[in-house]
Structure 1
Amino acid sequence: MIVPVQATRWMGDMGPRQFQSAYVAVTALLLILPICGTTAVAISAEPAARAFPADIALTLTNELPFERKAEPVTCGVPLARGFVSRADDLTLLDPDGRATAVQVMTTSTYKDGTPRWVLLDFQADLPAGGETVYRLSRGPRSPVSKDISYRLDAGVAEIDTQAARFRIDTRRFRLFDSVVVNGRELLAGARNGGVVLQEEDGSRHTGDDVPAEANFEDAGPMSVVLAVRGQICPGGKLPIADYVCRMHFYAGRSEVRVSFTLRNPAAHRHPGNVWDLGSGGSVFMEDFSLLFPLVHDHWISRVGVAPDRPAVAATKLYQDSSGGPNWNSANHIDKDYKVRTSFRGYRIHEAGGVASEGNRADGWLHVSSDVGGVAVGVRDFWQNFPKTLELKGNELRVGLWPHEFAGVHEMLGGEQKTHEILFVFHDAETSDQAIEQRMKAFHRPLYAMPDPQAIYATRAFWPTGPLDRERFEMLEQTCDTFVYPVGGGRASVITKWDQIDEFGWRHFGDTFADNEVSPGRMVEDFPEHHFGRQPISHFGNEYDVNYGVMLQGLRRGDPRWMWMADVLCRHYADICIYHSDAEPAEPYRHGPFTHTTHDTAAFRSTHRMYPSETGKYGLRYASGGPNAGHCYVASLAQHYYLTGDRTSREAFLEVADWTVHSPWFTNMMMGDKRGIGNFLMTHVYAYQLTNDRKYYDAAVKMIDYVQQPFEGLGATLFVKAAGRFLDVKIENDEIDADCQKALAKMLLFGDFYLELTDDKPNRWLEQACFYSELLFTCYIHAPDDHPNRERYFAQGKSLMDQSQSRWPGTYRATKTLIMCFANTGAYFRALDIDWE
């Protein structure tokens, strides 16, 4: 019997009692699980690679020039098995080492029920322009001085944060029905407010036509989330839109963070199996706004546009375009091939006219009077253009798809978009400066970065190794360029966003597929869609860009990377998954779309792969929909663990269920062999997240599906997913027949790759990473006495050594970067083992 060497390495992470239990379990399994054609292998007593820290440092960085006091922070932290037996045993220490109030929720457990991931809610103090460190430790927890009370009765929710009282009637949902601060009501009832959608023909519909469903999520003493799910059903007909509104309330604070998702549940019609704008099934909106009637008509309003500029008196802020150098890019064509942006940037209106204008607004609006006031901001305001914030009479308006835009807003069938909005209600004593600072802080979200040692010791992101700029100088520096411009070219993924103007509510969060080259005739026919021969096209999270960005951010402890990962995951969960039950072609329902197909501009296909133009130029790939070969969703599960974002969790499980129930799985219509590993990886993450056996059984079925090793990118994806499956089995002390089978099939690929004579690794830098990642993964998991274990290491290292001189230390195409930094984790880990 072959026993994974990682089983013994992982035991070293345990305390003595857990180690003894695991050793007995593995030894017993050696006796009772004879496997035909295998050989018994002794278990090595190799120690753990990294000891789990006694407590976990959480570093917060404030880049703003003022202090941030008691600011709500939500963050996920992975725990080593046995670190605590239950979440109640955890405490949070402030920078002075004193226990501070914290809410802890377990989001994933080990098999024995102990926490694997926990989600923290606390309130942090940060110095101006500096950083601070909190620590998660074991011990008694500090009591909450001002906790939240909440109730939901007969469809009416009431929340008291000790700083404000809120009432929300979900039977006729209009967001807030009542907000009371310091004994004063700020709203004039919600009869004329709430969720309002105006169609292209002028018909106006509200979100209170039918009762909504509501429940409290993630509720505790520090924060409460009210989730409201409803539909916009004009005249009792079929819904034209669904919505999910999550309202986050915080102890001792009078602010509410709202996550509002609007979805078109209809099917996208795709004649000829191309997925263009205007092809059918879309909702066309003239306007979609959230309206709030205030208690009287006498308000002073101010708008803010940047962290380094003071607010100015105004009644409306409107962002028409990104404000970038290519603000009118062909990236923004509509169904009629028209770009509808009207001017560069934003305009501020006062007394009916334009008072000032600029390029990019971190937008917020503050209205106040003698009874108090409210400020509202939309996260990533200019990036998600068009947007409006307006005070008109006594009505506060948040225009998420505003009528001020020259074109109609088209939401495709199965498409959704989530906006994050902050409302800060206050009394008459609160200063304008305090409100201004809070709104500026909202546009610079805090990310609590866990100690990288905790990441290495838990296998939460695995395999990987520590950041090492001495041994891997050029590789690490090349990876840096995903976020930071480095070297003479001064390019990064962020600067590439400006090149094609990858902004707007649909585009922001994808990346430019700048590795593509269009046919010469297409370039001649559509020069405005190209930079040289590079087409405007979208990468679409191929090879799970988002996972790689999270991993590199955690290795670096850098919040800028985590902001990028947050943006990418939000986009992918909304735009790149087909959120529709109505699609008649069952294999497509709830599946993920992929990148723009090769060798073409996106044109009107936006983020749905196949524009109709592909048929004109004899391209290799000219039609199709969601498919298994491009199912890269593990990052959404990890995003949920790190941030608590339920939209990502729901999107991940939506696709996970698709992988189990869709004909893509049941008939093994894998599209290409990448789908095998993609599905297996999805099943493993879904099983860890839910403990639902259906995902485990699906994973085993995918392993059974592989009978012989094969070559190509799909081989690496399968081996990596099989490695993840083994990690989970080892975590659960399950060294059984399924574990044995997965390891045996993994090593078949390793042996097969040792004999390949393909020169692709010498032609493609990223191919070298894929080949070596497969070999290093086999090395990590192979038993010490496996005859080819050292050959896996030697050949993998030879490939990477030959690649060292090819790392430029400057920006390469997005595809090269992601295939490299998301496929070097086993390399880092293998060399870490070698150095130990």
Structure 2
Amino acid sequence: MFEAGAGIRNSTLQGISMEPAGKGLAVTTGPLRFAVCTAGMNLLDAVWLDTNGDGRFSEGEQFISSAGGRGNMFIEHRRGSGNTLSDAAPKVEVEEKGPLRAVIKITSKYDNAFESVVRIYAYAGKSYVRVQDTLVHGPTNQGLHAYMRVAENRLVEHSLFLPLTLSDGARAVFGGGGTVPLGQAWLEQDVAHQFRPGGGGFAYEVKTQSGSIARGERAPGWVDVSDGRRGVTASMRYFWQLFPKRLHASKDGLKMELWARDARLSPDPANTHYQGMARTHDIMLIFHSGGFSPAHEALALAHQNELFAVCPPDYYCSTRAYGRHPLSARREPRFDQLVMRIVGRDGRTGFPVWRERGDAWGYFNFGDSLLGEYWSCLEYDSPWGLLQSFYRLGDADILREAALLCRGAYDMLFHHQYSEATSMYPQCSHDKEERHFAGGDSHGQKTGTDPGHVFISGLVNYWYLTGDRRAKDVIFWAFPVYYGDDKERIGCGGTWRYCGGYLAEIFVRAYELTWEKRYIDRLEWMSEHVFRRTNTRHADGVWWDARGNTFSCQPWLGDSVVYGYSSYIDINPATKLRRDMEDGFVKIADFIDRHAYARERKAIHQGLIKDGRDATEYRGTGQYYGDFMCLMSAFTMCRAYMLTGSQRYLDVARQLFNDGLAGWDSNEAKSAGEAMMFSAAALYYIQGGRFTSPDAAVPAR
């Protein structure tokens, strides 16, 4: 939380203290003291609030009493006709203890069907805590194979409960309308929701035992419970977007139902929780003296509107801390305008509009978006495409949209039951079967993965920019899973997808973040296989997929190969395969320019076929990608220009860029993914930039 103004004073000088306390850990921030229990999943086992400001915590200032090991994190799920519920002794770790902030991580498992990861953020001098709750449906690393059918389950309820001690006369105030004496009152958001084309149909209601007291469409997602002497405000980020939800206030305490009991989404299969997916919730608990005030509402709303710390574009572009390919902070009006349309600036197109039209919100769909019934979040690394433009332009709307995509992807599209020993890919594919409104398999949790759609640069950069520890968990879990089986996969096919630059880019990121030499070894093996071995690399410089004596390739994927392997050269310029790779980049550029384009470079073949390994005549499949998809080879032309100095490659790249921008359809998922992912890197060269990898050895740690 950032606070500034004439009346704001630094109140963090006393720091944060931690000490063992019974069966757990006691944390003191100054005005707040709370205990975390290791005997049961109690979350906040006890809380004291220094209401009189004397720096001590008396018995009368205890706000939450110990749950006695029974657990105040509640999970009930259904397998077949039976209900099960279990509490587990959690593992408690102190992840961070600094002068201003402490982070406690609590991990537990339930019935071998769920894994819970909760982080509590405490702040020096403050009486609020942030709770980041991730529920993984099926514990991580269970060793499932990428193409095994995953188990289906139904949550009955997932909730967090705070057993509050309040005096008579306490009241509850709900965001969205409604102040009531504390008895039984609740705010619910889309507990029954009908998914339908065109979107809409959102509904919240504030209720008491006597009936409804307020209604609306999208609730702010906060509630305050106080008795005039003290209280707590709970604010849930993305409350309405992550329906079905319920906030329940009673004399017993405050209950936050993250999956609301009795939820009835329609069609019925939309209630199915596939094992391997996850969902993260972000909650701020603001403990305060006195009654509810506008200041508490302001803090609640501030939590829902995330604050990002950013730098000027020139700084990002000059440091290249984001990755291996240079970016230009120079404006390019036509390109920049299209980027802003992708993030919905004109109100007629882009991810926000696609979500609304596709009714693409809710516990399972959050962060993804629909074009028709085609899920687009993993249509290439859209977050990375957006974040490159954020680094260039510094527009916060781009960062917000990329953050939303990443939060959706790290829960829904990384399949956490896979492991290094058994998985080919840790990611699920987007669904192309148009089954969303029929309640089918929306995001690929059940049908497996598309081996070409494996990316991590966007998520890595989201973590760099936000420090989101959930993103870090997924990144460092995914690296060894990517590593575990893809060598075999590459060896058996040698196709553009398996040998393509996606995995090279992933292993470059893995090496940069772990300094584990095995990733360099794997990159060397891949580079030799792709650029030197004759069983995969043909004389024409392209990698072909064999079906008997007929060979096929997808030439529009050229940038993926050149981008990924040029990233590898940049971290290991002394590799013995550098000349092979750079010669290969030029051969790819020549092949694409001579054989892959159509209609005067305004279209590109989706596929090319040749009869025989050494054939030099090629025919198309009759299908083309037009206009903006030609940008998928602009970076390849730019790299060939830098390696050869030949102006013709740069001329081709500029033509592709100009024609691609003229025909860019911002209502098409691929324009937000494939085309934008590599375009920002190509733009640097098109604007006159020059860059080659240095001659140096792999850096030591």
Equivalent residue number for residue 704 of structure 1: 528
Tell me, yes or no, if structure 1 residue 823 matches structure 2 residue 678. yes
Q: CA deviation at 1:574?
A: 0.8
CA gap of 1:777–1:186, structure 2 versus 1, over 3 A, is farther
1:261 aligns with 2:134: yes
Match of 1:4 in 2: none
Deviation at 1:756, TM superposition (A): 3.3
- Rate the CA distance shift 1:305–1:559 in 2: closer, same or farther, 3 A: farther
Q: How does 1:430-441 map to 2 (within 5 A)?
A: 432-441=293-302
Quick one: structure 1 residues 424 and 834, their matched pair in 2 at CA, closer, same or farther if it must change by over 3 Å?
closer
Distance in structure 1 (CA, Å) of the matches to 2:260 and 2:575: 58
Output the CA distance in 2 between the equivalents of 1:313 and 1:492.
44
Match of 2:381 among 535, 544, 547: 544
CA-based RMSD: 3.4
Which residue in 2 is equivalent to 1:205? 85
Instruction: Tell me: CA distance 1:155–1:475, structure 2 relative to 1, closer, same or farther (3 Å).
Output: same
Inter-partner Cα distance in structure 1 for 2:22 and 2:480: 32
Distance change >3 Å, CA 789–CA 598, structure 1 → 2: farther
CA drift of 1:246 comes to 0.9
Q: CA deviation at 1:602?
A: 7.5
User: Quick check: 2:386–2:402 contact (8 Å CA) kept in 1?
Assistant: yes
Give SS of 2:638's match: helix
Distance 1:358 1:639 in 2: 33
Matched, 1:380 2:238: yes
1:560-591 superposed Cα distances (whole Å, 9 cap, x missing partner): 222211111111111111111589x9345x62
Aligned residue identity for 2:680: G
Asked whether the 8 Å contact 2:455–2:502 carries over to 1, the reply is yes
Equivalent pair of 2:36/2:46 in contact (CA under 8 Å): yes
The alpha-carbon distance between structure 1 residues 477 and 555, as it changes in their structure 2 partners (threshold 3 A), is same
* TM-score, normalization by structure 1: 0.69
Corresponding residue of 1:595? 430
Greater shift in the superposed pair: 670-679 or 570-579: 670-679
Tell me, in whole angstroms, the C-alpha distance in 2 between the residues paired with 1:712 and 1:641. Answer: 33
In 1, Cα distance between equivalents of 2:487 and 2:432: 20
Mapping of 1:681-696 within 5 angstroms?
A: 681-696=505-520
Q: Which residue of 1 aligns with 2:610?
A: none
Q: 1:647 to 1:344 in 2, by over 3 A?
A: closer
Q: What is the CA–CA distance in structure 2 between the aligned matches of 1:653 and 1:419, rounded to whole Å?
A: 20
Distance 1:602 1:660, change over 3 A: farther
SS at match of 2:261: coil
1:725 matched residue in structure 2: 568
Q: Does 1:484 align with 2:484?
A: no
Q: Which moved more, 1:388-397 or 1:573-582?
A: 573-582
CA-to-partner distance for each residue in 1:95-125, whole Å, 9 max, x for gaps? Answer: xxxxxxxxxxxxxxxxxxxxxxxxxxxx442
Asked if the contact 1:167–1:176 (Cα under 8 Å) also holds between the matched residues in 2, the reply is: yes
Question: 1:795 maps to what in 2?
Answer: 652
Residues 582 and 739 (structure 1), Cα distance of their counterparts in 2 relative to 1, 3 Å cut: closer
CA distance in 2: counterparts of 1:673 and 1:602, whole angstroms: 33
Report if aligned partners of 1:264, 1:413 keep a CA contact under 8 Å in 2: yes
Other structure's SS at 1:146 match: coil
The reply to whether residue 298 of structure 1 matches residue 152 of structure 2 is no
Partner amino acid, structure 2, of 1:758: Y
Query: How many angstroms does 1:321 deviate by?
Result: 5.9
> Do 1:288 and 1:400's aligned partners in 2 also have CA atoms closer than 8 Å?
yes
- Alpha-carbon shift at residue 205 of structure 1 (Å): 2.0
> What amino acid is aligned across from residue 425 of structure 1 in structure 2?
F
Work out which structure has the larger RCO, using CA pairs closer than 8 Å and 6 or more positions apart in sequence: 1
Residue-by-residue CA offset, 1:256-314 (whole Å, 9 max, x unaligned)? 11111111227999999696xxxx622322111111111246363434436xx797778
CA contact (8 A) 1:321 1:344 kept: no
Partner of 1:86: none
Q: Give the conservation status (yes or no) of the 8 Å contact 2:92–2:106.
A: yes
| CA contact 1:148–1:250 (8 Å) conserved in 2 | yes
* Aligned counterparts, 1:182-331, within 5 A: 182=50, 183=57, 184-191=61-68, 193-200=71-78, 203=83, 205-207=85-87, 210-233=88-111, 239-265=112-138, 281-296=151-166, 298=168, 300-305=170-175, 315-320=185-190, 328-330=194-196
Aligned with residue 628 of structure 2, among 740, 744, 766: 766
Query: What's the counterpart of residue 525 of structure 1?
Result: none
Give distance in 2, aligned partners of 1:382 and 1:727: 44
User: Of residues 316, 319, 334 in structure 2, which corresponds to 1:455?
Assistant: 316
Helix, strand or coil: the match of 2:633? helix
Shift of 1:712: 2.1
Q: How does 1:619-634 map to 2 (within 5 A)?
A: 625-634=448-457
Q: Structure 1 residue 674 and structure 2 residue 510: aligned?
A: no
Contact 1:540-1:596 within 8 A present in 2 as well? no
Alpha-carbon spacing, 1:626–1:301, altered in 2? closer, same or farther (3 Å): farther
Shift, 1:798, TM fit: 2.4
Alignment pair present for 1:743 and 2:578? no
CA change 1:602–1:292 in 2 (3 A) is: same
Q: Deviations over 1:363-413 (max 9, x none)?
A: 101001244111112110000001011112222100001114235843211
Change (3 A) 1:572 1:402: same
> Cα–Cα, structure 1 residues 500 and 805, in superposed 2: closer, same or farther, change >3 Å?
closer
Pairing partner for 1:586 from 410, 417, 422: 422
Q: Which amino acid aligns with 2:93?
A: N
Decide which of 163, 180, 188 is 2:48's aligned counterpart: 180
Paired residue type of 1:293: P
The 1:702–1:310 alpha-carbon spacing in structure 2 relative to 1, beyond 3 Å, is: farther
Q: Which string of whole-angstrom CA distances, capped at 9 and with x for unpartnered residues, describes residues 601-653 of structure 1?
A: 67444344498xxxxxxxxxxxx522431112222221211111122122223
Q: Using a 3 Å threshold, how does the CA distance of structure 1 residues 582 and 684 change in structure 2: closer, same or farther?
A: closer
Shift of 1:231: 1.0
SS of the residue 1:461 aligns to:
coil
TM-fit CA distance, 1:789: 4.0
2:602 is paired with a residue of what secondary structure? helix
Give the partner amino acid of 1:476. D
- Which residues in structure 2 correspond to 1:322-471 (within 5 Å)? 328-330=194-196, 344-406=202-264, 409-428=271-290, 432-462=293-323, 463-466=325-328, 468-469=330-331
- Percent identity reads 21
TM-score, normalising length from structure 2?
A: 0.81
Q: What residue in structure 1 maps to residue 548 of structure 2?
A: none
Counterpart secondary structure, 1:833: coil
Tell me if the contact between 1:483 and 1:494 (Cα under 8 Å) persists in the aligned partners. yes
Query: In 2, Cα distance between the equivalents of 1:480 and 1:822?
Result: 15
SS in 1 for 2:64: coil
Kept after mapping to 2: 8 A contact 1:152/1:215: no
CA distance in 1, matches of 2:363, 2:427: 19
> CA shift at 1:437, angstroms?
0.8
Task: Give the match for residue 608 of structure 2.
Answer: none
CA contact (8 A) 1:591 1:627 kept: no
Distance 1:582 1:755 in 2: 43
Give the deviation of 1:161 after TM superposition. Answer: 1.1
Say whether the 8 Å CA contact 1:292–1:396 is kept in structure 2: yes
Question: Using the alignment, how far apart are the partners of 1:669 and 1:355 within structure 2?
Answer: 64
Question: Alpha-carbon deviation of 1:774?
Answer: 1.5
Partner of 1:645: 468
| Mapped contact 1:593–1:625 kept (Cα < 8 A) | yes
| AA aligned opposite 2:308 | Y
Q: For residue 127 of structure 1, report the CA deviation from its aligned partner.
A: 10
Cα distance, 1:600–1:194 mapped onto 2, change above 3 Å: closer
**Cα distance change, pair 301–817 in 1 and its aligned pair in 2 (3 A):** same
**Count of residue pairs brought into register by the alignment:** 626
Q: Deviations over 1:428-487 (max 9, x none)?
A: 3x6511111100111111111211111111223353544555xx322221211112242x
Deviation at 1:751, TM superposition (A): 4.0
Residues 309-331 of structure 1 show CA distances to partners (whole Å, capped at 9, x for unaligned) of: 79777821100169xxxx62248
Query: CA 1:740/1:797 → structure 2, altered by over 3 Å: closer, same or farther?
Result: same
